[in-house]
Structure 1
Amino acid sequence: MRLYGIVGWKNAGKTGLMERLVTEVTSRGFTVSTVKHAHHSFDVDHPGKDSFRHREAGASQVLLASRNRIALMHELRGDPEPSLQELLTQLAPVDLVLVEGYKRDAHPKIEAHRAVTGNPLIAPDDPTVRGVASDTPLHLDLPVFDLDDTKAVADFILREVGL
C-alpha cells in the first residue's frame, strides 16, 4: 500500500492541505483513502441515536449502513490504541493512502508549516519528513513548497510513491 503523511503542529494547515491533495490526486484518476489521527477523545455519533445507544449499552463494534455510506465504530474499552499499521489493514485497496498526523511513525511525510504559529519545524530533526509546505520561504536541505501550491506538493508525493 502506498502511504504518505502530512504532519505539522496545530494550526499549521494540515487539514486544508490534505483536503486539497485528495481533490488533486483523485482528479488525476487515482483512488485515495485517508487516515486522520486525533490526539483527543472524539465522537462521530450523537446522544440519543440508535447507534449511540448500542455503543452505550456495551457493543464492541457498531456498523451503520445506508445506501450512501457505511461507518464502523469500534470501542476500545480500555484496550491500547491500534498502531497505524494495524489500522491500515482495515482499509480497502487504493492507489494512495494519505495520513494526517502520526508524526512519529516511519512513513514518508510532508510537513505543513505556518510561520504565524511560532512553532519550530519538525523536518530538521526527522528524516521521514521529505519536504515542507510553508507559507513563508525557508532555507532547508529539503524541497520546500508554497503551502498553497497543491499541484506541486501532489506532483512530489506521486513521484515519491511511484505513481
Structure 2
Amino acid sequence: MKIIGLAGWSGSGKTTLVTQLIPALVRRGLRVSTMKHAHHAFDVDEPGKDSYQHRAAGATEVMIGSGKRWALMHELRGEAEPDSLSLMQHMTPVDLLIIEGWKKEGHEKIEIHRPAHGKPLIQPEDPQVVAVACDQDLPGLPVPRLDLNDIEAVADFIVVHCGLQEKAAAQ
C-alpha cells in the first residue's frame, strides 16, 4: 500500500483537497482510503444509540456492522494517542492511503500552503515534504510547487510520485 500525506496549517484546505482528489484518483482506477487526524475530542457515535451505551458502560472496543458498512470504535481510556503508523495497521490494504494531518510524522507528504493565511511553510523544517500545493507562486522552493486549484495535476503528481502509473494505466 502506497502512502501520501496531506499536511498544512488549520484552514489551509486539506479536507477540500482530499475530497477532490479521491474521485480524481478513483477515476484512474485506484482504490483509495483515507485517515484523518483530529486535533480535538471527537465522537462518531451519538448518545442514545446502543453502541454509545456500550462505550459509556466501559467497553474498550465496540464494532457496529450492517449490510452497508462497519465501524470499529476504540476508547483509549487513558492510553497515549496512537501515531499514524499504529492506526494504519487497522486499515485494509488499498492502492493508496491518503493521510490528512499528522504533519509532524515521518511519512511523505504534500504540504497545503496558502500565503494569505500568514502561516510559515512547513517544508523547510520537514524533509518528508515532497511537494507544496499552493494557490500562488513560491520562488526558490526546493520541491515541486503544485497548483492547488489544478486537482488533476495534483492527482497526476501523486500517481507518479507513488509509483502507481501501471496500476492507474491498467484501467
Whether the TM-score (by the shorter chain) exceeds 0.5 is: yes
Tell me, what secondary structure is at the counterpart of 2:142? coil
- 2:150 aligned residue: 149
> Structure 2: how far apart are the matches of 1:108 and 1:83?
15
> Structure 1: how far apart are the matches of 2:144 and 2:162?
16
- 2:161 aligned residue: 160
1:51 partnered with 2:51: yes
> Structure 2: how far apart are the matches of 1:66 and 1:76?
24
> Structure 2: how far apart are the matches of 1:112 and 1:121?
9
Deviations, residues 74-99 of structure 1 (Å, cap 9, x unaligned): 00100111221111110111000000
> Structure 2: how far apart are the matches of 1:136 and 1:41?
34
- 1:113 aligned residue: 113
- 1:36 aligned residue: 36
| Number of equivalences | 163
- 1:61 aligned residue: 61
Give, in angstroms, the shift of residue 116 of structure 1.
Answer: 2.5
Does the aligned pair in 2 maintain the 1:6–1:101 contact within 8 Å? Answer: yes
Deviations, residues 100-157 of structure 1 (Å, cap 9, x unaligned): 0111111111011122211111112211101111112111121111111111111111
Give, in angstroms, the shift of residue 16 of structure 1.
Answer: 0.6
> Structure 2: how far apart are the matches of 1:117 and 1:69?
38
> Structure 1: how far apart are the matches of 2:86 and 2:142?
33
Q: Which aligned runs of 4 or more in structure 1 are off by greater than 6 angstroms?
A: none
**TM-score scaled to structure 1, two decimals?**
0.96
> Structure 1: how far apart are the matches of 2:155 and 2:108?
14
> Structure 2: how far apart are the matches of 1:123 and 1:150?
20
1:80 partnered with 2:80: yes
- 2:15 aligned residue: 15
5+ residue gaps in structure 2?
A: 165-171
Letter in 2 for 1:123: Q
Task: State the identity %.
Answer: 52
> Structure 2: how far apart are the matches of 1:116 and 1:59?
45
